[in-house]
Homo-oligomer: A and B are copies of this chain.
Amino acid sequence: MAKILRVDIGTESVAFEEVPDKYKFARGRWLTSSLVADEVDPTCHPLGPGNKLVFSPGIVTGTTAPTSARISVGGKSPLTGGIKESNAGAKFATMQARLGIAAIIVQGQPKDSKQYVLAVDKNGARLVAEDGLRGLGTYATTDALIAKYGKVGVCCIGPAGEMRMAMAGICFNDLEDRASRFSGRGGLGAVMGAKGLKAIVVNSRGAPAVPIVDKELFEAGRAKLTKAIRSHDITKPKGGLNTYGTAVLLNILNEAGALPTRNFSRGRFEKAADVAGEAIFEGNKARLGKEVYNHACSPGCIIQCSNTWYAPDGSEMVSCIEYETVWALGPDCEIGDLDVIGRLTWLCNDIGLDTIEAGGTLAVAMEGGVIPFGDKKGAVKLMEEVGKGTPLGHIIGAGAAVTGRVFGVVRVPTVKGQHMPAYEPRVVKGIGVTYATTPMGADHTAGYTIAPEILGVSGKVDSFDVNKAELSRNFQTTTAFIDSSGHCLFIAFPILDFPEGFQGVIDECNGLLGTRWTAEDIGRIGADILARERAFNKTAGFTNADDRLPEFMKYEPLPPHNEVWNVSDAELDAVHGDAAS
């Protein structure tokens, strides 16, 4: 029987609780969002004693289900002021699942400035006061914890989280124990920092397997999904993602005129090809003298899209540099140099930052005149200042919306205070609808309509068509379920194109839980998750006025298509139907 581990920082206590019946099947985002909605006052200060931080692996996490080692982290976001769910692929997820811990809830706040490590294994949990990690980057923190606790799943924050910066993410170690996997978005690292929790280490040695009610059904589902993943051009071995990583998107979006460049003032970057996935692959080949395909970020991943960028001397510079990372630290800042982007990515990882927010904020600071666009040395220096906590570093660390306010910048591409990812909504209207209407703030993963609008997955949809409420709603709903299943969102490509793959996910869940869910149930569960999240936001003070893109996109045409944002407010409000006001 799965348990909830409740950790109260204020009383320095840990306790295991039964999982209430209402959460019986809920895991991943379903459980983190439900717990946050049920237990956290939506009007509390995100960095105060009222907020809670919740960790939950997905429904099938810890099993042999392919690409399913996701850990969902939830809480009230210091960046958006709304509910936040941010998930990552990491062995931490697998280990927590195998320990039978449906959720870890961290609540309260330290009485003084104490710092803690939470250690969890099959014998229980201990909250350990530990001062030696203070101020350490995520790399050194991870190394120190592995040296002390052995082969553990590590979850930690860097200096940014300790300094309660709103772009601080929560970092997990990958299969090679690099500090490289992030629940990056929404500043949950700052919540962890405000609670004085530097790290959690999880060790599942000696734990039993995750229980499965109907192993036959589960296995059948696993086989269907595995086949679909291995068959799809995007996710198959030596396919798009395994070869070029997510940065395979760079040339595609640039070609579409939808690659936000120079702080969302153009849709095309002349040096795009220099920093695209193909350039990473070829660059590595040149530097290493051999082809390097990508690796798994977490146990059981068969897509294996996590890349590495190697330095000229063949040593590893950083892993991983995702499409959004390359873009945010590159084209959005008019930087077209992979070594600079690699260095900036390493700094983001070490300091413990969301790379999208970090790069986007650099671009807003450039717009505000802090350094010129394209200033490589300046960008590295600014990022170092974030780690040092200088005044300028604190500004950047607070994210794009605050940086825009500090420097009086109008062109600030945020929704609900969170910076937009690497898809220009004036050109790809559906993703703009997702940015505007997801409870998460601007987030591509919340309803990735790029799949049909740009990649033609599940059939090509015209990206300029402004009627995208239904499309975005369907993606948001299904995504909320995938984020609960424990699978990586990248299974969306094969399950959208191959119906058997989608059935495979359902079969896996039904097999594990003993349920008899249909596709309709999946939609119902997804819609229920979104409704809980929106209800939280409504009580926190959000209205339809927050479900909007920034005003400048309505009056600034974006080259080369010279399109403005022209999706109607009515279309946006049609996404959720339950209009907030």
A459 at interface by CB-CB < 8 Å: no
Q: Which A residues, 60 to 93, have Cβ-Cβ distances below 8 Å to chain B?
A: 78
Q: What residues on B are CB-neighbors of A546 within 8 Å?
A: 541
Instruction: Please tell me which one of the listed residues B44, B164, B165, B395 contacts residue A391 in the complex, with CB atoms under 8 A apart.
Output: B395
A408 x B47 contact (CB < 8 A): yes
A123 at interface by CB-CB < 8 Å: no
B45 x A550 contact (CB < 8 A): yes
Stretch at the interface among A1-9, A398-406, A517-525: A398-406
CA distance A551 to B50 in the complex (A): 9
Name which residue of chain B comes closest to A50, CB basis: B551
List of 10 A-B pairs having minimum Cβ-Cβ separation, nearest first:
A164-B408, A541-B545, A391-B392, A391-B391, A48-B410, A398-B406, A394-B406, A541-B543, A45-B551, A45-B410
A545 x B555 contact (CB < 8 A): no
Binding site for B on A (CB under 8 A): 42-45, 47-50, 78, 163-166, 190, 193-194, 370, 390-392, 394-395, 397-398, 402, 405-408, 410, 538-543, 545-546, 548, 550-552, 555, 581
CA distance A164 to B367 in the complex (A): 14
A408 x B555 contact (CB < 8 A): no
CA distance A410 to B545 in the complex (A): 26
Distance of A280 from chain B, by nearest CB (Å): 34
Q: What residues on B are CB-neighbors of A398 within 8 Å?
A: 402, 405-406
Given contacts A394-B395, A545-B540, contact A405 B45 (CB under 8 A): no
A49 x B555 contact (CB < 8 A): yes
Name which residue of chain B comes closest to A551, CB basis: B45
Q: What residues on B are CB-neighbors of A541 within 8 Å?
A: 542-543, 545-546
Distance of A237 from chain B, by nearest CB (Å): 45
CA distance A414 to B555 in the complex (A): 32
Distance of A19 from chain B, by nearest CB (Å): 29
Q: What residues on B are CB-neighbors of A50 within 8 Å?
A: 551
Distance of A426 from chain B, by nearest CB (Å): 17
Name which residue of chain B comes closest to A46, CB basis: B410
CA distance A410 to B48 in the complex (A): 6
Q: What residues on B are CB-neighbors of A552 within 8 Å?
A: 45, 48
Name which residue of chain B comes closest to A555, CB basis: B49
Distance of A52 from chain B, by nearest CB (Å): 14
B407 x A394 contact (CB < 8 A): yes
CA distance A391 to B381 in the complex (A): 14
CA distance A402 to B409 in the complex (A): 14
CA distance A56 to B398 in the complex (A): 38
CA distance A318 to B97 in the complex (A): 67
Instruction: Please tell me which one of the listed residues B48, B391, B402, B410 contacts residue A405 in the complex, with CB atoms under 8 A apart.
Output: B402
Distance of A489 from chain B, by nearest CB (Å): 30
Q: What residues on B are CB-neighbors of A542 within 8 Å?
A: 541, 543
Name which residue of chain B comes closest to A397, CB basis: B406
Name which residue of chain B comes closest to A163, CB basis: B408
Q: Could you list some 16 contacts between A and B, CB below 8 A?
A: A45-B552, A48-B551, A50-B551, A163-B408, A165-B408, A166-B405, A190-B408, A193-B408, A194-B410, A391-B392, A394-B407, A398-B402, A406-B406, A541-B542, A543-B543, A543-B581
Name which residue of chain B comes closest to A44, CB basis: B551
A402 x B406 contact (CB < 8 A): yes
Name which residue of chain B comes closest to A544, CB basis: B541
Distance of A84 from chain B, by nearest CB (Å): 16
CA distance A166 to B395 in the complex (A): 15
CA distance A542 to B543 in the complex (A): 8
Name which residue of chain B comes closest to A368, CB basis: B394
CA distance A550 to B408 in the complex (A): 25
Given contacts A43-B545, A48-B551, contact A406 B410 (CB under 8 A): no
Starting from the known contacts A78-B408, A164-B407, A541-B545, 12 additional A-B residue pairs (CB-CB under 8 Å) come to A42-B545, A44-B551, A47-B410, A193-B408, A394-B395, A394-B407, A397-B406, A398-B402, A538-B581, A541-B546, A542-B543, A543-B543
CA distance A392 to B50 in the complex (A): 30
CA distance A164 to B541 in the complex (A): 27
CA distance A194 to B551 in the complex (A): 16
Distance of A272 from chain B, by nearest CB (Å): 29
CA distance A24 to B485 in the complex (A): 64
B43 x A548 contact (CB < 8 A): yes
CA distance A48 to B407 in the complex (A): 14
Instruction: Please tell me which one of the listed residues B42, B395, B548, B551 contacts residue A395 in the complex, with CB atoms under 8 A apart.
Output: B395
CA distance A552 to B406 in the complex (A): 24
Distance of A564 from chain B, by nearest CB (Å): 14
Distance of A78 from chain B, by nearest CB (Å): 8
CA distance A402 to B407 in the complex (A): 11
CA distance A581 to B546 in the complex (A): 14
Q: What residues on B are CB-neighbors of A370 within 8 Å?
A: 391
CA distance A548 to B539 in the complex (A): 12
CA distance A176 to B51 in the complex (A): 53
B551 x A408 contact (CB < 8 A): no
CA distance A395 to B66 in the complex (A): 47
Q: What residues on B are CB-neighbors of A391 within 8 Å?
A: 370, 390-392, 395
CA distance A137 to B78 in the complex (A): 36
CA distance A44 to B391 in the complex (A): 29
